[in-house]
């Protein structure tokens, strides 16, 4: 009977030992942790992909998100700054890395006694004072300023917003000539429209789609006023082939509203700069003043004539063109900065006038400058804590 009791105790102890978790199997939760063994560092939780690098044991990391047996961790890279990526959860342990233990031979002095501690032991019942980053007791450790979000070497923001001023360089000048019957001959009127620089407004939004690839839209509005010159010849009412020269001027204006669809590639440059290259189709809506007619006056003996106030209209037309550009932003905080860029956009606009068409090149080279805003990604979703198991029911 006694042997049976001893055997039952041995079996029960073996079962309890097998049910206990093995040492070192604790799973790192959100917060500070360290790499327990050499861990391949992936951009995505997929072992079939090539790892970005291998993290050395003891590397300090912060667990951001748990995805099955993968951990999304963040650590400070000496060359690239703060980086995020995935490692296997079995290779990460919670808390700071343990201090290296001194060898037994060095733990005792030559006299055979243990060396004195460098710091006095804390009084029993009192908590040790916190130590600052500089090593001074009594000060809490200063929290590090969070760096701009990146995933590996890729742009990691949710979106990039730009707003500011635009300046369009001198566009294309154009002219238009028309003729009509006058005194059984042909009167001719030619109008020249000079080009001029145009200030305006610029705004854009880029939304990250994958890695550094983004899609978005930009809006520009520019306008300017100038003076068109009118020159022509009017036939004489009494004599053939005796043309009278006439000249005049008319105020004209030009306005453009352009919507640029953009596919962009955004590249982080260092820790506080972004470079984006973009291109795509553009939709232009252009209003342009045009001289529709130029009435003239004359008096006896009709050897000369003069143009009176020209009749000017301002029709609007639209067309589809293209745009390419580059933008550079420098950020003095995690989300706010300034930037400048260049864009070239072009479309051909056709206006019906005097039973013909007038062709105008809309757009041109633009410089943009203003505020830049980075929209960081949302906070990662944390796994819900496990529900406590209900106690077993008693019969």
pLDDT tens digits for 351-394?
A: 999 888 999 999 999 999 999 999 988 655 555 556 655 655 55
Instruction: Provide DSSP, 120-149.
Output: PPPPTT-PPPPB-TTS-BTSPPPPPPPPPP
Query: Do 338 and 212 fall within a single domain?
Result: yes
Is residue 145 pLDDT above 90, yes or no? no
The reply to whether 54 and 186 lie within a common domain is no
Residue 349 lies in a domain: yes
Q: Domain tally for the chain? A: 2
Give the CATH number of the domain where residue 44 resides: 2.30.30.40
pLDDT per position as a tens digit, 314-336: 999 999 999 999 999 999 998 99
Whether 187 and 279 share a structural domain: yes
Structural domain harbouring 50: 22-94
Q: Are residues 258 and 370 in the same domain?
A: yes
Q: Are residues 80 and 193 in the same domain?
A: no
Residue with the bigger pLDDT between 28 and 277: it is 277
Using CA atoms, how far apart are residues 205 and 160, in angstroms rounded to an integer? Answer: 6
Residue 48 has pLDDT above 90, yes or no: no
The residues near 40 (Cβ < 8 Å, ≥ 6 apart) are: 47, 51, 54, 87, 88
Residue 109 lies in a domain: no
User: Do residues 165 and 283 both lie within one domain?
Assistant: yes
Is 241 in the same domain as 344?
yes
The CA-to-CA distance between both ends of the chain, in Å, stands at: 30
Together in a domain, 316 and 199: yes
Q: Is 13 domain-assigned?
A: no
Within a domain: residue 337? yes
Co-location of 271 and 356 in the same domain: yes
pLDDT at 391: 58
| pLDDT of 377 | 84
Q: Are residues 260 and 334 in the same domain?
A: yes
**Contact in structure between 314 and 285 (CB atoms under 8 Å):** no
User: Which residue's entry shows tokens 């596919």?
Assistant: 263
The model carries a pTM of 0.60
Residue 184 covered by a domain: yes
Q: pLDDT digit string (tens) for 52-102?
A: 888 889 898 898 888 888 888 888 888 777 888 899 988 888 888 777 554
CA atoms within 13 A on the CB side of 110: 0
Q: Is 101 within a domain? A: no
Cα dihedral angle (15, 20, 23, 27), rounded to 10 degrees?
Answer: 140
Q: How far apart are CA 153 and CA 268, in angstroms?
A: 7
Do 166 and 253 belong together in one domain?
yes
Q: How confident is the model at residue 46 (pLDDT cuts 50, 70, 90)?
A: confident
- CATH number of domain containing 365: 2.40.160.20
If you average pLDDT over every residue of the chain, what do you get? 81
Single out the residue of 341, 272, 353 nearest to residue 315, CA to CA. 353
Q: Residue ranges of the alpha helices (H) in the chain?
A: 2-19
């Amino acid at each position: 009977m006694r042997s049976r009791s001893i055997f039952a105790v041995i079996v029960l102890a073996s079962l309890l030992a097998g049910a206990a978790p093995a040492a070192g199997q604790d799973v790192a939760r959100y917060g500070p942790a360290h790499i327990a063994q050499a861990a391949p560092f992936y951009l995505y939780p997929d072992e079939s992909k090539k790892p970005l690098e291998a993290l050395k044991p003891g590397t300090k990391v912060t667990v951001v998100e748990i995805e099955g047996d993968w951990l999304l961790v963040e650590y400070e890279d000496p060359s690239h700054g703060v980086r995020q990526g995935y490692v296997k959860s079995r290779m990460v342990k919670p808390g700071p890395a343990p201090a290296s233990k001194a060898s037994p031979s060095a733990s005792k002095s030559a006299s055979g006694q243990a060396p004195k501690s460098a710091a006095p032991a804390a009084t029993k019942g009192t908590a040790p004072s916190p130590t600052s980053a500089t090593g001074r007791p009594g000060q809490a450790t200063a929290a590090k300023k969070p760096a701009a979000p990146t995933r590996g070497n890729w742009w990691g923001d949710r979106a990039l917003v730009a707003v500011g001023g635009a300046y369009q360089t001198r566009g294309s000048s154009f002219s238009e000539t028309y003729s009509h019957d006058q005194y059984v001959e042909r009167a001719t009127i030619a109008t020249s429209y000079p080009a001029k620089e145009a200030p305006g407004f610029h705004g854009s939004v880029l939304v990250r789609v994958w890695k550094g690839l983004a899609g978005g839209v930009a809006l520009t509005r520019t306008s300017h006023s100038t003076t068109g010159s009118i020159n022509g010849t009017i036939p004489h009412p009494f004599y053939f082939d005796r043309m009278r020269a006439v000249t005049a001027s008319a105020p004209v204006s030009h306005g453009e509203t352009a919507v640029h669809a953009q596919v962009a590639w955004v590249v982080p440059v260092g820790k506080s700069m972004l470079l984006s290259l973009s291109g795509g189709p553009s939709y232009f809506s252009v209003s342009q003043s045009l001289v529709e007619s130029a009435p003239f006056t004359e008096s006896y003996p009709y050897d000369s004539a003069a143009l009176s106030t020209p009749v000017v209209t301002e029709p609007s037309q639209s067309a589809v063109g293209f745009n390419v550009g580059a933008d550079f932003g420098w950020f003095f905080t995690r989300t706010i900065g300034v930037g400048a860029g260049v864009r070239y956009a072009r479309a051909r606009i056709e206006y019906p006038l005097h039973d013909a068409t007038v062709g105008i090149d809309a757009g041109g080279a633009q410089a943009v400058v203003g505020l830049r805003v980075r929209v960081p990604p949302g906070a990662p979703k944390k796994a819900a804590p496990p529900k406590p198991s209900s106690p077993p029911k008693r019969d």
